[in-house]
C-alpha cells in the first residue's frame, strides 16, 4: 500500500528537480496576441518575470483576460530580442505558445495579471553517438502469381 501511495504522489522529487530547463529571472517587455471566441484579434502588453527554454512567466500591464489553454503568439519587444539572457526561441519575432497557468486577478481591472506560457517549439535533439548504418536493401526477384 505504501509503495502505491508513493507512486501516486510522484516520489520525493521537488518541482525544481523535475524541470527540463533552468528558469532564469528576466524582466523584458513584450506582448501577447490572440483571437477571442468571436475571432477578434486581442493584444496585451506584458513584462516577463522569468524565462526558460520551454516557458515564460509574464505579468500583464493592461488588457483583457486570456482563457486557460488558449493558443497565443508571444512577442518580445524588438529592442530586447538580442539580449544574451533570452533563450533562442524568444529571439524570434513571435512564438506560438499556450496559456497553461492563470494567476491572481488585478483588483483594478478584474482580469488576471499573471500568466504562464508554454512555448510550442521543437525540442532540441541530442546528437546521435553512433551514425546510423544504412540498411542494404536487396530487391527480390519478381514473383509470378497464377490463379
pLDDT band of residue 103 (cuts 50, 70, 90) is very high
Contacts of 124 (CB under 8 A, 6+ apart): 53
Task: Provide the residue range defining the domain that includes 79.
Answer: 19-119
* Burial class (CB within 10 angstroms; exposed 0-12, middle 13-18, buried 19+) of 96: middle
pTM score above 0.85: no
4 belongs to a structural domain: no
Q: What is the SS3 assignment for 83?
A: coil
CA gap 68, 103 in Å, rounded: 10
C-alpha cell at 85: 539572457
Task: Please report, for residues 21, 109, 142, 143, the alpha-carbon distance to residue 120 in angstroms, rounded to integers and kept in the order given.
Answer: 14, 29, 48, 49
Q: Is the pLDDT of residue 124 over 80?
A: no
131 belongs to a structural domain: no
For the stretch 61-95, pLDDT in tens is 887 899 999 999 999 999 999 999 999 999 999 99
Q: Write down the pLDDT at residue 80.
A: 94
For the stretch 19-64, pLDDT in tens is 667 889 999 999 999 999 999 999 999 999 999 999 999 999 887 8
Q: Write down the pLDDT at residue 7.
A: 47
12 belongs to a structural domain: no
CA gap 77, 98 in Å, rounded: 19
Task: Please report, for residues 20, 48, 57, 71, 137, the alpha-carbon distance to residue 52 in angstroms, rounded to integers and kept in the order given.
Answer: 9, 11, 9, 18, 44
**How many domains is the chain partitioned into structurally?**
1
Q: What are the phi and psi torsion angles at 51 (to 5°)?
A: -135, 155
CATH code (residue 93): 2.40.10.220
128 belongs to a structural domain: no
In this prediction, residues 111-135 reach a mean pLDDT of 74
Amino acid at each position: 500500500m505504501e509503495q502505491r501511495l508513493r507512486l501516486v504522489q510522484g516520489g520525493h522529487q521537488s518541482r525544481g528537480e523535475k524541470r527540463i530547463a533552468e528558469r532564469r529571472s528576466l524582466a523584458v517587455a513584450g506582448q501577447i496576441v490572440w483571437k477571442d471566441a468571436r475571432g477578434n484579434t486581442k493584444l496585451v502588453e506584458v513584462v516577463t518575470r522569468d524565462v526558460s527554454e520551454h516557458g515564460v512567466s509574464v505579468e500583464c500591464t493592461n488588457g483583457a483576460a486570456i482563457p486557460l489553454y488558449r493558443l497565443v503568439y508571444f512577442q518580445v519587444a524588438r529592442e530586447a530580442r538580442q539580449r544574451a539572457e533570452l533563450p533562442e526561441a524568444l529571439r524570434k519575432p513571435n512564438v506560438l505558445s499556450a496559456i497553461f497557468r492563470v494567476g491572481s486577478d488585478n483588483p483594478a481591472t478584474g482580469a488576471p495579471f499573471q500568466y504562464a506560457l508554454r512555448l510550442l517549439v521543437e525540442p532540441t535533439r541530442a546528437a546521435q553517438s553512433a551514425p546510423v548504418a544504412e540498411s542494404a536493401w536487396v530487391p527480390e526477384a519478381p514473383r509470378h502469381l497464377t490463379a
